[in-house]
Structure 1
Amino acid sequence: MALHPLFRSPRRLVALAAAHPSALLLAAQLLSLLVYPAMDATRDGRVVFGAMALVVVPLTVWVVRNSRSTNWVAWALAVPAIVLSLVSIALDRPGLVAVSSALESALYFYAAIALIRYMLDDHRVSVDELFAAAATFTLLAWGFAYAFLVCQALYPDSFTGMVEPERPRRWIELLFLSFSTLSGTGNGDIMPIGAQARAVVMLEQFAGVGYIAAVVGRVIGLTLNRTRTDRSR
């Protein structure tokens, strides 16, 4: 079976990655989303998933760098977040999870703001900016999911669900709640019941509406204007 010409040339792959860092970040986020359900139930699986942060988090920092934001802030959040996450899983120290989650939440929000600034920097929509629009959505979803995790650690009765309502919600459940809230689709099986949790959920609802209206709407508008301009020539 012959390989696609792109995969026969490492230089082309490197050039593609350099040209579209947002696409790499988006792919890594979606891949981790697909593989995590198979790892959630076991300790070894959580260790492997924690190790994936060694790829996803540096990619997040790389995207920040390419969007002309302050790189050292991203690394200051990323390095301790990775270390604490791996230590908390490997040594079974739940107390460290809240700290690492807070750092990762801050990193993802910081990267999302960096990408939004990158997309608003000019009046031209590039291919990478289209990938950045999708990557920003995943960054916001992950950032709020980690914020939910911190909220649950500080206030244990923050969330409930249809299945085993008394137990703390797992990461994949909180991520599902985050995606549902940010996209505006809503769900009924994972619900915030604590005042603090509801406040964070309302902030995400506001962020979701604002992101779609301000950023996605702008990208669509500029793309349509460019199409009309090209047709008129």
Structure 2
Amino acid sequence: MNLICRAIRDLVRLPSACLLILQLLILFLAVVSNHDLAYRSMTWILGALVLLIIAKVIKMTPIFSAVGLFGVLGALIFSFLILIGYHQAYIQITAHVFEVIAYTTAAYGLVRYMFEDRYLTKDELFAAAAVFTLIAWSFVFLYSICQLYDPLSFSITPEQSVQHSWLDLLFLSFSIQSATGLSDIMPLSPLARLIAMIQMFSGVMYLALIVSRLIALQYIAHLPKHQDD
């Protein structure tokens, strides 16, 4: 029991780890659920927790804190409206715009946090993974906005355009960002292809910058003390 309590306390001290775990839990619920009210309520609660943790992370970046907190508040309000039954396209688009602001600002905050430290810590390892998922989530909301604006934005084949679920678009986002190219969904509209190209560039640059940064921090940690000063 003491080990469990200690693990929970350690986890609370690592907001990046909490953020990553909650996002993975939301992903798991999207796979196993039947999309009923209980699922949507649980997903909203977890999403709200993610946004609250994002609000804490955003405090690491004072310049963007006002914009980030504005995104968090707007995302909470409009996602709740969707939960209680307001499914108009303009409400969904507005919610996704706020979510993009919140997630993108949080990703920037964690990247800045990692680059300000001189030593590699456990929280920075979780932050590196959390930023990857935050960027992927941000582009999912952009793809969803694109699909709501133009229902023919994506397809499985060039001849068949369909409306895709959030999980489908998340699969597309991870496929593009990781450069694996495993997705069977094809962006068709010019806007969808533009967003995909931006994500390709962002994913490649993020991996290059973060991997080099983590290697540098690990190298610094093993330098003799007189060389580190």
TM-score range, shorter chain: 0.7 to 0.9
Question: Given the alignment, which residue of 176, 181, 196 partners 2:171?
Answer: 176
Across the aligned residues of Structure 1 and Structure 2, the Cα RMSD in angstroms comes to 2.5
Alignment partners' CA distance in 2, 1:40 and 1:174: 18
Matches within 5 A, 1:82-161: 82-95=76-89, 96-161=91-156
* Cross-structure match for 1:24: 18
Q: Indicate conservation of the 8 Å contact 1:40/1:46, yes or no.
A: no
Alignment partners' CA distance in 2, 1:43 and 1:167: 24
Q: Indicate conservation of the 8 Å contact 2:119/2:220, yes or no.
A: no
Q: Percent identity?
A: 33
Secondary structure (helix, strand or coil) at the match of 2:135 reads: helix
Secondary structure (helix, strand or coil) at the match of 1:161 reads: strand
Alignment partners' CA distance in 2, 1:97 and 1:222: 41
* Cross-structure match for 1:7: 4
Query: Which structure 2 residue ranges, 5 or more long, are not aligned?
Result: none
Q: Indicate conservation of the 8 Å contact 1:74/1:107, yes or no.
A: yes
- Aligned AA for 1:77? G
Q: Indicate conservation of the 8 Å contact 1:148/1:174, yes or no.
A: yes
Secondary structure (helix, strand or coil) at the match of 1:202 reads: helix
Against the structure 1 CA distance between its residues 34 and 69, is the aligned structure 2 distance closer, same or farther, given a 3 Å change threshold? Answer: farther
Query: Which structure 1 residue ranges, 5 or more long, are not aligned?
Result: none
Question: Given the alignment, which residue of 195, 200, 205 partners 1:205?
Answer: 200
Q: Indicate conservation of the 8 Å contact 1:183/1:208, yes or no.
A: yes
- Aligned-residue offset at 1:225: 4.3
TM-score normalised to the size of structure 2?
0.88
TM-score normalised to the size of structure 1?
0.86
Q: Indicate conservation of the 8 Å contact 1:145/1:174, yes or no.
A: yes
- Aligned-residue offset at 1:224: 3.7
2:181 is the counterpart of 1:186? yes
Q: Indicate conservation of the 8 Å contact 2:156/2:184, yes or no.
A: yes
Query: Structure 1 stretches (4+) deviating beyond 6 angstroms?
Result: none
